[in-house]
Each structure stands twice: as structure tokens, then as C-alpha cells.
Structure 1
Amino acid sequence: MGDISIKINIADRVYPLRVEAEEEEVIRHAAKLINEKIKELQENYAVRDKQDLLSMCVLQYATGMIKAEKGAKSQDAGLEQSIHELDDLLTDFFRK
């Protein structure tokens, strides 16, 4: 599939984008999540400036992404360790 033109509304601003057709759903969902997070922040804090709300939103999502990356690296390290242990066991088994 090729590029398509879409318009995304984030924080009451419309952004025209050209995206791969298969990415459209993900991008629209991301915009929806951002707008919901902005609304939640606006309701919970005495902040009305859209720029401040967007900054707070980005900070929360970036923090979550960093935590997820660290968790994935930790899982990768654990998996790598398990593979080495299994390799050692198999090596010992076939040497006997």
C-alpha cells in the first residue's frame, strides 16, 4: 500500500500528515490517547496552557517508554543467561 493523506487533531490543532496506509490506525489511536491524556491532565491539574499540557503528556509517555525499554533489556539479559546455561548443560551432556 502507498502513502495516504490524513488529518490528525491533537490539542485542538489539526496536523495534515502523509502516512503509510497500514500506519493510519496506529497514528489515529496514538492521537486519541494523547488527547485523552491531555484532557485527564487538564482535569487533574490547574493547567490550561496547551503547551504545558503537551509537555506533561510527552514526559509521561517518554518515561513509560524508557521503563519499557529497560524492562525489555532486562528480559533479554535473563533470556541470554538462560540460553548460555542451557548451552553449557548440553555441552556437558554430549561430552560424557
Structure 2
Amino acid sequence: MGEISIKITISDRIYPLKVNMEEEEIVRRAAKMINERIKEYQENYAVRDKQDLLSMAVLHYATGVLKAENKVQAQDTAVADKVGELDSLLTDFFSK
């Protein structure tokens, strides 16, 4: 599908974006999550500077992405190990 123009507000700043129609909801949800995280940090910590709050939110989400990537990589390794075991068992079975 085509691109559409949208405006996203993050930390009281408006960002005009062009996104694929299929991605619009995801982008809006991401902006909402970022704003909620910023608000949470603002309420729970003595940080008032918007740049610091935004940096803390970015660090939170980047850490989450890296954890998810590590988990997927570990799962891929485990699956590859199991496939190797099955291949070995089948090779042994058919070679008898």
C-alpha cells in the first residue's frame, strides 16, 4: 500500500512523518508507549529535563530490544541443536 503523512507527538514536540499505511498503528502505539514511559519517569524521579527523560525512555526500550534479540538467538541455537540431534538419530537409524 501507499505512504501517508501523519503527525506524532513525543515529549510535547510534533514530528511529521511519512509511513506505510500498514505501519501507522504501530508508529502511533510506539509514540504512545514512549510518552507514557516519559511521564512515568517524570512522576517517579527528580528529573525534569525533557532530553534526560527521553534518553531514559530510549535506553529502556533499547535494552528491551537487545534482551529480545538475545532470547531469539538463544532459541535459534537450541532449535539448531535439536535439529542436529534428530539428524544424527535419523542418520544412525537409516545406516543400520
| TM-score tier (shorter) | over 0.9
Report the AA paired with residue 29 of structure 2.
Answer: H
Paired residues in the alignment total: 96
Q: TM-score, normalised by structure 1?
A: 0.98
Mark the runs of 5 or more structure 1 residues left unpaired by the alignment: none
The aligned runs of 1:35-54 (5 Å cut-off) are 35-54=35-54
* Secondary structure, aligned partner of 1:19: strand
Structure 1 residue 2: deviation in Å?
0.4
Structure 1 residue 67: deviation in Å?
0.9
Name the CA distance, whole Å, in 2 between partners of 1:69 and 1:62. 11
Name the CA distance, whole Å, in 1 between partners of 2:70 and 2:78. 12
* Secondary structure, aligned partner of 1:77: helix
Residue in structure 1 matched with residue 91 of structure 2 by the alignment: 91
Cα distance per residue 1:23-69 (max 9 Å; x no partner): 00000000000000000000110011110000000011111111111
Of all paired residues, the percent bearing the same amino acid is: 67
Residue in structure 1 matched with residue 19 of structure 2 by the alignment: 19
Residue in structure 1 matched with residue 5 of structure 2 by the alignment: 5
